[in-house]
Structure 1
Amino acid sequence: MQEEITKHTEKIYKTMKNKKHTLGEKAKEIIIEIFIIVFAVTLSIWLHSWSEHRHQQEEVSVFLGNLKNDLKDDIESIDVEKKAYQKSNIGYEKILALTTLQLDSIYKSKNTVNFPIYSHGPKMNIANYEGFKSSGKIGYIEDEKLKQKILNYYQIFVPAINEVDKYYNDFLFKCFDKMIENADKPEEKLYSDPKFKKTIEFLVKLGKNNIRVYEQNTKPRANELIKEIEKEMNK
């Protein structure tokens, strides 16, 4: 392109120096050469922009494909974690239902109470999103509605899961602390202790709340986002 511009610029210079042509002929030739230069530059800029835009949209397509797979994995992780919460809650509710007489009977028969130990929290896939966002490429997504849904999912709904799981695990560790504090006492006394039972009650409530967050907030958003991505990729 630089060579073409140089060539036509030289033609303009030679035309201006040409004593055989009239002023009108020179003006006509110069205008033609200038038009050719402007057209060539404009075409070059357009082709470069088109090529760059095409490359950007190819990157978006790859990103959306990877994101779709991440979202499917997120949904599977959420389902697994939901079942784990339900299983833990059943175990805690059994403990809460035990009477003093039942506890005495369990320990007299040399049995123990099974306390579910499960630190909850699904592994959400954020690497592809974070990499694309940190490289400043989120703006390449031209569908504004889709872009906003992606941002909302990773900036609102994924952090919400992490937050509710953190609250749950904090209460779980309070139970562990109570167990350690009462390690020198008969275990049946611990399970009949009102403060310990109240902590377990909150643990069950938090577990149910977290299942609700999974089912009513994050999982529907992930499914909705998958549909939007599929619609965009099929355009």
Structure 2
Amino acid sequence: MAELEVVKSTKKIIETAKDKEKSFWHKIKEMALEIAVIIFAVSLSIAFHSWSEARHEQHQVRVFLKGVRIDLKKDMIEMKGNIEAYKNQRNAFRYLATIPKGHLADNDSIQHFAPYFYNFTGYGGNTGRYEGFKSSGKLGFIENDDLQNSILDLYEEKIPRLTISTDFYKTQKLKFADYITDNTVDYPAGNITKVMASNPVKNRSQIYLSSVNQIISNYENCTAQMEEIVKEIDTELPRKK
């Protein structure tokens, strides 16, 4: 419609300019009126386009936030399970670190804690949706600055910090497993209880305890941030009853 008005007014301006029967000032008034119509039509068209574009952007934001809410709820379940796994690992290494000097490790305790000495727990991460939205340059579409900053802080600060700490811990646990394997003979009836009570193992266990405590703290920081983001999204996009 705006384009038609521009075309019509342009034709009228040309016709008025060529009309020899109208006075100069009459032509000026008519042409000024048509120019005003053109300006109004163009302005209206631009405003409508901007409104339509903004509406489309906010639709994309709503779709993104609904998806992130689903991702975070899944992640929180995974992370809370991981926290429990790390607490078990902490108990295992605390046991090794506190074996009295000159004593052997208790065989039943070794068997009980064995799964936690060698396995590894890491955050899988449902970050694909965030990375896609970020790479397309759409994060700036989120008009709620607090929510935008919370999402950025989670995915750009807290999760990478967690990943770094778990990767380091994984590398150290692989070294731990290699040490046990290299120094154990005639397993399981051999010297495993002596190796597990040795000073190198006790020293490593103290280091691992510090790493595990840091990892648990990083997990808890992530889940707290996730819970806060989910609350903010719920406020931003209340569910229909």
Above 0.5 in TM-score? yes
The CA deviation at 1:205 is: 2.8
- Maintained 8 Å contact 2:96/2:201: no
In structure 1, the residue corresponding to 2:120 is in which secondary structure?
Answer: coil
Q: What is the Cα-based RMSD across aligned positions, in Å?
A: 2.4
State the distance in 2 between where 1:188 and 1:139 align: 58
- Maintained 8 Å contact 2:9/2:34: yes
State the distance in 1 between where 2:236 and 2:107 align: 60
- Maintained 8 Å contact 1:56/1:140: yes
Q: How does 1:53-202 map to 2 (within 5 A)?
A: 53-98=54-99, 102-103=104-105, 106=107, 114-115=113-114, 116=116, 117-184=118-185, 186-202=191-207
Structure 1: runs of 5+ lacking an equivalent: none
Percent identical across equivalent pairs? 31
The CA deviation at 1:78 is: 1.3
Question: Aligned partner of 1:222: which letter?
Answer: M
The answer to whether 1:218 aligns with 2:219 is no
What residue is the counterpart of 1:35 in the other structure? Answer: 36
What residue is the counterpart of 2:10 in the other structure? Answer: 9
Question: Aligned partner of 1:32: which letter?
Answer: L
In the superposition, relative to structure 1, how do residues 69 and 46 fare at CA in structure 2: closer, same or farther (>3 Å)? same
How many residues were matched structurally?
230
In the superposition, relative to structure 1, how do residues 234 and 197 fare at CA in structure 2: closer, same or farther (>3 Å)? same
The CA deviation at 1:8 is: 1.5
Question: Aligned partner of 1:198: which letter?
Answer: N
Question: Aligned partner of 2:229: which letter?
Answer: L
- Match for 1:207 among 207, 212, 224? 212
The CA deviation at 1:82 is: 0.7
- Maintained 8 Å contact 2:162/2:219: yes
Question: Aligned partner of 1:44: which letter?
Answer: S
- Maintained 8 Å contact 2:158/2:222: yes
Structure 2: runs of 5+ lacking an equivalent: none
In structure 2, the residue corresponding to 1:19 is in which secondary structure?
Answer: coil
In the superposition, relative to structure 1, how do residues 33 and 106 fare at CA in structure 2: closer, same or farther (>3 Å)? closer
Any runs of at least 4 consecutive aligned residues in structure 1 with deviations exceeding 6 A, and if so which?
Answer: none
In the superposition, relative to structure 1, how do residues 85 and 106 fare at CA in structure 2: closer, same or farther (>3 Å)? closer
- Maintained 8 Å contact 1:120/1:168: no
In the superposition, relative to structure 1, how do residues 11 and 112 fare at CA in structure 2: closer, same or farther (>3 Å)? closer
Question: Aligned partner of 2:59: which letter?
Answer: E
- Maintained 8 Å contact 1:95/1:113: no
